[in-house]
Structure 1
């Protein structure tokens, strides 16, 4: 029996390279189960959008360099009727610079050691990271939405970032001569990696919190955090170790699953009864359809930068990195609606609400 399970109505849609990458991981000594989720796509040697379970081993490279990367969703206190794109855009400056707040106090409050202080704390970073302001497009489960105390007439904010350079440093420090062998759980090397991993996880959560605070303060908003989830991690699970590489947890409460910057995002609730066959994991987003290199090559010939600063849904994009705006264009991503439908068909989620992008922030010069 194959240790690989694919969560999709039509697995033939998956990139063959991503499937080959899963198959390679299935041959690791100690690897027992692998799940490919609907957003599965090829990564840098390791498929993204997958969960891996072993009763006996830990593999740092299955978590990757951005330990704790994830999504936080905030409901701001700004009424939707007062949100003006032009005004908001003009106020979002200086947010790529180091945070001027009290780093030592923030780390201490989060229970993190002072040596983890970094000028990167409170910054988004590159790649597919972003802050996005959103509105509720539709409430699908009105009873659950109301029970959670959520409001449809408010501006929402999604923060996607991780542990920045800290995760990369940890991966390098624990890199193995033969990564495929993994580290037997219980060995000092495994305990050392897991301790560093958990610190990076906490740092990433704090980073998203500080980012949200900076954006809200720049706009004069308050707000409350609805959820924060990590999708690059390794955690104890059923007596073994569950590695998630671009996979949201289905055992930590509410989850937000974003589309591309030009598509809807979804607030969902995991369905516990169907979780084990998917290793208690969910898709973490739409998943890439094209690599960054391919996206730039395809789209830079068809569009100007200005064409990509507005989306088909009418939202605005702030991205002053001329290459990144092509690499992260909506066309480079899969259809989030199909990803959500696959998760629903597999009995893994209930959709609570659908969110429309208003403004996506990635980076600007000053």
Structure 2
């Protein structure tokens, strides 16, 4: 592990190398969270950055209590990777852009609307609201990105996943949309930021809603992928789907309790994708599950700048049109003139540093590297 794990205290560590940029505020939030009642272990990932009271890019292990406020409003946020049947060598940005068109609106706008509504009915209880948001990406750092493999590091693991370098890949990053935020607001109104006793009726009620939101997020990613595949006139196969924001029963360091992930990828569910910014590479990795990192990994490159800083820092250097093309030659569809600055590659850490740190810490083996081709954020009608 070398110098890739920093022990901040007996119960708090940070997976970071000497050249991994981490804000002091994020480390302070990490240490403060460790002081919550029942909190036993806290692990910050190399993409750690400050959040609203709690750090993003971390995992937390508690006993006796769970903390809904720590999970936040985007319950079930995560990523799904699909392999399309499109030949990477035969696609162009302009054709992909035109075919995808606008997917900000509700599913009923599509020809497959009735088919998808039947799928929703089979997957989600009838009482779950926020259905018009299903199949839509949302704001913030959510996206759908067509990618191609440009480097294969582990040929055997790559083949075992059924992957083909010649086929275009689709990475979908989204969550439970307004449903998760609604659940969080209800909890905060009743309990503030206090934890819930794990054996209480209040905790059981929250977990029931939480689990529905996680399922909502998974169905949402499925529908986004199906929607894009239908627009492109092709089929695809789901390779993986993981959640970054949730709470689960778990055993860590020989002790039963609860694992909270706030912007952290599970390391105990097989291969995962750790994405860079929209102008950087993403990495398909095989986790080496470890209680050291609370069975968790970085979930992306991690923010370097606060959203409120981005336009001021970049508007004198780049126009919106310039930010729509990346240094890797990919295209970004984002008609929101504020969001495209907030999500500029410069606002994020280099993905290569995040991956090198995880490799150095003995937490992952790299299977392959993915290069962005076209990223869909919004045509300007994105809703929260």
Describe the superposition over 1:74-129 as per-residue Cα deviations: whole angstroms up to 9, x where unpaired.
1000111221111111122231000112465223322x211224100100001100
**Match of residue 317 from structure 1:** 332
Sort the Cα spacing of 1:85 and 1:105 in 2 relative to 1 into closer, same or farther, 3 A: same
The answer to whether residue 288 in structure 2 is matched with residue 271 in structure 1 is: yes
The equivalent residue for 1:36 is 44
Equivalent in 212, 237, 241 of residue 258 of structure 2:
241
What is the match of residue 31 of structure 2?
A: 23
Pairs aligned (count): 363
Q: For the residues of structure 2 that align with 1:33 and 1:178, how far apart are their CA atoms?
A: 23
CA contact (8 A) 1:68 1:232 kept: yes
Of 156, 181, 186, which aligns to 2:169? 156
1:2 is displaced (CA, Å) by 3.1
Q: Using a 3 Å threshold, how does the CA distance of structure 1 residues 179 and 26 change in structure 2: closer, same or farther?
A: farther
Partner of 1:336: 351
Are the aligned partners of 1:259 and 1:286 in contact in 2 as well (CA < 8 Å)? yes
CA distance in structure 2 between the aligned counterparts of 1:178 and 1:296, rounded to whole angstroms = 36
* Correspondence for 2:5: none
Deviation, 1:27, is 1.3
Instruction: Specify which of 187, 191, 201 is matched with residue 188 of structure 1.
Output: 201
Separation of aligned partners in 1, 2:225 and 2:308: 30
The answer to whether the Cα contact below 8 Å between 1:140 and 1:352 also exists between their aligned partners in 2 is yes
- Partner residue in 1 for 2:3: none
Are 1:258 and 2:275 matched, yes or no? Answer: yes
Task: Report if the CA contact (8 A) 2:12-2:34 is conserved.
Answer: yes
Higher mean C-alpha displacement, 300-309 vs 351-360:
300-309
The residue that corresponds to 1:229 in the other structure is 242
Hey, what does 2:122 align to over in structure 1? 109
In the TM superposition, what is the alpha-carbon distance from 1:23 to its structure 2 partner? 1.5
Query: What's the counterpart of residue 361 of structure 2?
Result: 346
Contact 1:104 1:114 in 2 (8 A): no
User: Helix, strand or coil for the counterpart of 2:107?
Assistant: coil
Confirm or deny: 8 A CA contact 2:161 2:239 kept in the other structure: no
| Separation in structure 1 between the aligned mates of residue 193 and residue 186 of structure 2, nearest angstrom | 16
1:309-358, Cα deviation, whole Å (9 max, x unpaired): 10000001100000000000000000100100110111111111100000
Distance apart, 1:176 and its partner CA:
5.8
Match of residue 62 from structure 1: 70
Query: What secondary structure, in the 3-state scheme, does the structure 2 residue paired with 1:262 have?
Result: coil
**What's the CA shift for 1:44?**
1.3
Alpha carbons of structure 1 residues 299 and 37: separation in structure 2 relative to 1, 3 Å: same
Q: Which moved more, 1:294-303 or 1:155-164?
A: 294-303
Question: What TM-score, normalized by structure 2, do the two folds share?
Answer: 0.92
Shift in Å at residue 21 of structure 1?
0.7
CA distance in 2, matches of 1:325, 1:33: 36
Question: Unmatched 5+ residue regions in structure 2?
Answer: 1-8
- The range that moved more, 139-148 or 96-105, is 96-105
User: TM-score, length-normalised on structure 1?
Assistant: 0.96
Check whether the contact 1:28–1:180 (CA below 8 A) recurs between aligned residues.
Answer: no
Shift of 1:142: 0.5
Indicate if the aligned counterparts of 1:59 and 1:179 stay in contact, CA closer than 8 A.
Answer: no
For residues 18 and 250 of structure 1, what CA distance do their matches in structure 2 show? 22
* Partner in structure 2 of residue 308 of structure 1: 323
Match of 2:82 in 1: 74
SS of residue paired to 2:132: coil
Determine the structure 2 residue equivalent to 1:128.
141
The answer (yes or no) to whether the contact 2:20–2:354 under 8 Å persists in 1 is: no
Q: Is the 8 A contact 1:38 1:283 kept in 2?
A: yes
| 2-structure distance, mates of 1:171, 1:196 | 10
Aligned to 1:211: 224
Distance 1:306 1:259 in 2: 21
CA distance in 2, matches of 1:179, 1:34: 22
Structure 1 unpaired stretches of 5+:
none
